[in-house]
Structures are given as structure tokens and as C-alpha cells.
Copies of this chain bind each other. A is one copy, B any other.
Amino acid sequence: MSTVVDDELWSAIGDPIRRTMIDLLLSDGPGTATSLSRQLPVTRQAVSKHLAVLDRVGLIHAEPAGRERHYQVDEAQLARAVAQLSAVGSTWDARLRRIKRIAETVERHRTNEGS
């Protein structure tokens, strides 16, 4: 059975620019498209598109303030995303461990019978 994950959430945090944006919003607090673009290697418009994607999947939400739009991380949603990350990680981890154990078992059998 394949791992059950929300593909939209995954693809949202799969992009390196978007991951950095989340990092920035977490470490520096709420920011705007312009303020984020100053710390990123892409234009404001590109940042704006990424913000739209993150907003659409609910990882961040905007708060209009005068002529600016302040974006900030939705903690509950990010927590959900982190949970999915670690879920996939631990699934693979468990399978790797199982494969290793089987390999060792086979090795043991081979050694015993090969004498």
C-alpha cells in the first residue's frame, strides 16, 4: 500500500523557494511579498505566486494592512505538514529496517547451511 499523503501539501513544501519562504516567515515573523523578495533570489512577482500557492493549501494566510498584505504561517496547518513529512520518513525508515533485518536473516541461513 502506498503512503497516504496530501499531495497538494507535499508539492507546496516540495519547492525549495517555498520552503525558504516558510523558514523566513517563521524566523522573522509576518512579511509581505516585497519584504520576502528582498531576501530571495527571485522577483517579487515570483514570490507573490508562491505566496498564492501556500495560501491556497492553507499553510499561510494573508492579513491586509493598509496598502500592504501581511502573510503569516498557519501554525496548525504547518504542524499537519510536518506530521506528514515525518510519517513518510518513518514509513521508509521502517521498510529499510525490515529489509536490513531480512537480509541479515538470509545471511545467517546461508552461513549455517553453507558449512
Contact = CB atoms under 8 A, between A and B. Distances in A.
B14 A99 contact: no
Count copies of this chain in the complex.
Answer: 2
Contact of A82 (B15, B81, B82, B89): B89
B14 A2 contact: no
Contacts of A81: 92
Interface stretch (A23-31, A50-58, A61-69, A107-115): A23-31
Given A86-B86, A100-B75, A92 B22 contact: yes
Interface in A72-86: 75, 78-79, 81-82, 85-86
> Is the contact region of chain A dominated by helix, strand, or loop, or is it mixed?
helix
Contacts of A96: 26, 75, 78-79, 82
A22 B93 CA distance: 12
Interface of A: 1-3, 5, 7, 10-11, 14-16, 19-20, 22-24, 26-27, 75, 78-79, 81-82, 85-86, 88-89, 91-93, 95-96, 99-100
